[in-house]
Structure 1
Amino acid sequence: MSALKWGQGKGKGAAGPALFSLPLSFDHFVLPRVLRRPVRILARLGEGEFQAPRFSAAIVSAVLIASSGAYGAYLGGHADGIVQSITARTGFAVDQVKVVGNRQTSEIDILDRLELDGWTSLIGFDAEAARERIATLPWIEVAAVRKVYPHTLEVRVEERQAFALWQQGSDLSVIEKDGAVIAPFSGGKQVLLPLLIGAGAPAKAPEFLAKIEKYPDLATRIRGYVRVGDRRWDLKLDNGITVKLPEDGEDQALAELVGMDHDKGLLSRDIAAVDMRLSDRLVVQLTPEAVTQREAALNEKPKALKRKPETKI
């Protein structure tokens, strides 16, 4: 039987096993299986029968020094740096970054938020912290950073939707449909966005621009939407004409404006402004050149009448 039993089959004066000169013999007592081997080794060590393996002292010392160093690095806050350094040099250094979904945001700005240093380990890289940094970029609405082992980072972003340009004094910004400012105007395709001018314009623009969309020919000619006193709109056309819409009845005024332009070419004439603020009349303001030409024509008319020869009967 392989079980370690002490006190069985031995005389009263028999000496049992001992550990460091301490008797370990108890009548009819069996050690648990887990403890049998360690106790045997300790017993042999105490009797001088067990010899430690070669270089065991050096190995134990190295383990002790390494453990002390690791603990010191942990207390000093350098553990992450050690892990980064070791894993980066064993094939896990980030050497490829894939960016998906960016249109207005440059890849350089995204890479800058990742804070890679050339020896950044994918294992120790904090993807959540990087995602939070990328989300602070002006155009980013949603960001996700994923590790693809052994050495790739994948960044997916969803950007905010530009609705219009908003001018306040000398400041020109890109805004969302709800009026939230995204970023300063930077040119490019942003010039194609509708231009809103004046305080209160962003709040009223979505509803008003939906009305303008009903008249595509007019919409293509508008270069600016000016909010006046946060009460009404002026339209700045591509040929310099200003259309002053009334405070109430915008839909009817727009329909009449488009009708007169279709029938009489109103918006193609040499005029400076069309004032529709009065409900019972429409006022047209001529350009300075048109005024000069009209005055000259009026002055020339009497002279022409005087030069007209009399007819003899």
Structure 2
Amino acid sequence: MSALKWGQGKGEGAAGPALFGLPLSSGHFVLPRVLRRPVRILARLGVGDFQAPRFSAAILSGVLIASSSAYGAYLGGDVDGIVQGITARTGFAVDQVKVVGNRQTSEIDILDRLELDGWTSLIGFNAEAARERISSLPWIEVAAVRKVYPHTLEVRVEEREPFALWQQGNDLSVIEKDGAVIAPFSGGKQVLLPLLIGAGAPAKAPDFLAKIEKYPELASRVKGYVRVGERRWDLKLDNGITVKLPEDGEDQAIAELVSMDHDKGLLSRDIAAVDMRLSDRLVVQLTPEAATQREAALNEKPKSLKRKPETKI
């Protein structure tokens, strides 16, 4: 029988097992399996039969010191540092980082937000805290940080979508389609974005730019969209011409502008501005050079025609 029964095979009055002089037998009590060996050892200690293994005192002292140190580290909040130090030196130190999805954000900025020190353990690394730090970067919309054991971190990011550049005074910023500022202008491919100028421009720009894009030849020549008084638009073209659109009926004005340029080459002439703010007329402003030439040409015309002499018959 596998169970150890106390008091079996003994006559009445027979002495049963005792622990430190205290009897442990009680009828047919069966001691649970898990307690049998510890109770036997304690019983032998009580009668002086047990001999401790070699170095047991040193082992117990080490266990006591280690447990005391662990408890002290717990109270002092240093447990994470201890775990980091131990696991990093046993093959779990982060030595490779993969960054995917960044275009405007540099890998250096992302690595800086990971806060790795060369002995950072993958086991104790807080991926969620790192994700929040990376998400705070200007261009980052969504970030994910994943541990790949034994020693790799994988960072995936989705960046905000740039729509245009917005100039306010001397400040030039990259903005999203809803007008939210992403970051200051830093050059590179950002120069290809449409340039909006003036207060209130971002709010009205998406619809207005959609109208201009219906005419690719005109859209390719526009270098700046100026919001005037938060009421209407001026177009700054690549050859320096300014087109002043009306506050109302800008769709019709744009169509007429494109038609006149196609038929008469209006936007290729030596002019400084085309004023379309008046519904019943179009005003063209010459450049200073063109105005001077025109004035000189007018002055060269004879003021009066010479009269022919009369012929007598």
Classify the TM-score, shorter chain. Answer: over 0.9
| Cα drift, residue 44 of structure 1 | 1.6
Separation (CA, whole Å) in 2 of partners of 1:71 and 1:147: 29
Separation (CA, whole Å) in 1 of partners of 2:150 and 2:267: 65
| Cα drift, residue 308 of structure 1 | 11
Per-residue CA distance 1:238-272 (angstroms, 9 max, x = gap): 11111000111111101100111111111111111
In structure 2, relative to structure 1, the CA distance for the partners of 1:9 and 1:150 (3 Å cut) is closer
Count of equivalent residues: 313
In structure 2, relative to structure 1, the CA distance for the partners of 1:164 and 1:311 (3 Å cut) is farther
Q: Which moved more, 1:198-207 or 1:36-45?
A: 36-45
| Cα drift, residue 45 of structure 1 | 1.5
In structure 2, relative to structure 1, the CA distance for the partners of 1:6 and 1:285 (3 Å cut) is closer
| Cα drift, residue 3 of structure 1 | 4.1
In structure 2, relative to structure 1, the CA distance for the partners of 1:48 and 1:311 (3 Å cut) is farther
In structure 2, relative to structure 1, the CA distance for the partners of 1:257 and 1:37 (3 Å cut) is same
**RMSD over aligned Cα, in angstroms?**
2.2
Separation (CA, whole Å) in 1 of partners of 2:312 and 2:156: 94
Task: Determine helix, strand or coil for the equivalent of 1:86.
Answer: helix
| Cα drift, residue 30 of structure 1 | 3.3
Q: Which moved more, 1:14-23 or 1:186-195?
A: 14-23
| Cα drift, residue 288 of structure 1 | 1.0
In structure 2, relative to structure 1, the CA distance for the partners of 1:15 and 1:308 (3 Å cut) is farther
Paired position in structure 1 for 2:159: 159
In structure 2, relative to structure 1, the CA distance for the partners of 1:62 and 1:184 (3 Å cut) is same
In structure 2, relative to structure 1, the CA distance for the partners of 1:306 and 1:81 (3 Å cut) is farther
Separation (CA, whole Å) in 2 of partners of 1:311 and 1:99: 101
In structure 2, relative to structure 1, the CA distance for the partners of 1:121 and 1:34 (3 Å cut) is closer
| Cα drift, residue 312 of structure 1 | 12
| Cα drift, residue 24 of structure 1 | 2.3
| Cα drift, residue 12 of structure 1 | 4.0
Separation (CA, whole Å) in 2 of partners of 1:19 and 1:306: 150
| Cα drift, residue 75 of structure 1 | 1.0
Q: Where does structure 2 lack aligned partners over 5 or more consecutive residues? A: none
Per-residue CA distance 1:42-89 (angstroms, 9 max, x = gap): 212111111111111111110110011011111111111111111111
Separation (CA, whole Å) in 1 of partners of 2:305 and 2:189: 58
- Name the TM-score, length of structure 2 as normaliser: 0.94
In structure 2, relative to structure 1, the CA distance for the partners of 1:3 and 1:202 (3 Å cut) is closer
Paired position in structure 1 for 2:169: 169
In structure 2, relative to structure 1, the CA distance for the partners of 1:159 and 1:305 (3 Å cut) is farther
- Name the TM-score, length of structure 1 as normaliser: 0.94
Identity of matched residues, %: 91
Per-residue CA distance 1:150-172 (angstroms, 9 max, x = gap): 11111111111110000001100
Q: Where does structure 1 lack aligned partners over 5 or more consecutive residues? A: none
Separation (CA, whole Å) in 2 of partners of 1:22 and 1:307: 155
Task: Determine helix, strand or coil for the equivalent of 2:292.
Answer: helix
Separation (CA, whole Å) in 1 of partners of 2:198 and 2:310: 62
